[in-house]
Copies of this chain bind each other. A is one copy, B any other.
């Protein structure tokens, strides 16, 4: 078997702390298996601004392109708030450079962690959906975009091809799930949304078993809270996906555990926690490593087809949660290190 190349972007503040945990778990789970890999670290975000004057140096782009998967932790923070180019600009750029047009965000409620959710248990039970967010087009990238003295303009532009490829990913995903796709748009106002609906209706012909419904983004923002178990696969545009996937994440009560995947047609996919770099707790050894560990789990599953290793991680993480060996964000008192050690022990046990 070929040795997998994994690009590691360890990021800022709690970034390196949780990345280390994740890599320890990866090492432990793959010992004495056929899965072989190499880690290559590249600067990205704030770290890259400090060392190289820009959040996404050319060498990092090239390193990522040569790899089989990219692991990212979290970037940005107050240190670079006044930087000419902010670390987050690197995020938009890397998506573009690697053609990562689809962002996949699972929202699944773990019954134990659900206690920490702001939403009532009877509302969130059975919640298990995925948001498929278009990531490299729409109002994030459309031109003209300009800020002048007296006015500013942003442009949202979608081509049929861009819509088709993201729909394709969502419809395919639904075939392995409950075969239920919800297109979230604002087709009562936006021209781009009308085109999304048209493409979805056509794609439904290719997936006759899939039940498709259409939901305006304002109604979806309500339904995610009132009836989250309604959803299976949500497909939506860049900006709507940004808002709704963050909204959805709080349902779980466990932001610190949620991974995400960004993917394209060719080239490596990128895996990262959905939370930020948490400057307030950086260096205190209490950052929750589970989101990073789950990002690695997702990588093993989706990029490398290592289902058995992925399942072992899932089980080890669930055991740690069941035992209550978790960090303060999940109501526990364990440190990052203790959680990591516990998960590695569970892997071995």
Q: Which of A131-173 contact B (CB under 8 A)?
A: 139-140, 142, 145-147, 149-161
Query: Does chain B have a CB within 8 A of A23?
Result: no
What CA separation (Å) do A184 and B86 show in the bound complex? 19
Q: Knowing A120-B119, A156-B139, A158-B152 are in contact, say whether A218-B243 is a contact too (CB < 8 A).
A: yes
In whole Å, how far is A275's beta carbon from the nearest beta carbon of chain B?
10
Q: Do B153 and A156 touch across chains, with their CB atoms under 8 A apart? A: yes
Stretch of A246-254, A259-267, A278-286, A314-322 lying at the B interface:
A246-254
4 closest cross-chain pairs (CB), A and B: A152-B195, A218-B246, A221-B247, A147-B191
Q: Knowing A118-B225, A153-B157 are in contact, say whether A219-B195 is a contact too (CB < 8 A).
A: no
Query: Does chain B have a CB within 8 A of A242?
Result: yes
Q: Which of B145, B159, B242 contacts A150 (CB 8 A)?
A: B159
What CA separation (Å) do A142 and B145 show in the bound complex? 13
Q: Which of B86, B150, B158, B239 contacts A160 (CB 8 A)?
A: B150
Q: Which of B152, B159, B247 contacts A191 (CB 8 A)?
A: B152
Q: Which of A177-222 contact B (CB under 8 A)?
A: 186, 188-192, 194-195, 217-219, 221-222
Q: Do A195 and B147 touch across chains, with their CB atoms under 8 A apart? A: yes
What CA separation (Å) do A178 and B146 show in the bound complex? 35
What CA separation (Å) do A169 and B154 show in the bound complex? 24
Q: How many identical subunits does the complex contain?
A: 2
Q: Is the interface of A mostly helix, strand, loop or mixed?
A: helix
Residues of B within 8 A of A119 (CB): 118-120, 225
Q: Do A154 and B226 touch across chains, with their CB atoms under 8 A apart? A: no
Residue among A145, A160, A219, A246 with max Cβ neighbours from chain B (10 Å): A246
Closest B residue, CB atoms, query A157:
B153
What CA separation (Å) do A158 and B157 show in the bound complex? 18
Q: Which of B158, B186, B188, B245 contacts A151 (CB 8 A)?
A: B158
Residues of B within 8 A of A149 (CB): 160
Q: Knowing A151-B195, A225-B119 are in contact, say whether A92-B189 is a contact too (CB < 8 A).
A: yes
Q: Do B217 and A243 touch across chains, with their CB atoms under 8 A apart? A: yes
What CA separation (Å) do A240 and B151 show in the bound complex? 19
Contact string against B for A residues 53-71, beta-carbon threshold 8 Å, 1 for contact and 0 otherwise: 0000000000000000000
Query: Does chain B have a CB within 8 A of A112?
Result: no
Q: Which of B140, B186, B245 contacts A239 (CB 8 A)?
A: B186
Query: Does chain B have a CB within 8 A of A235?
Result: no
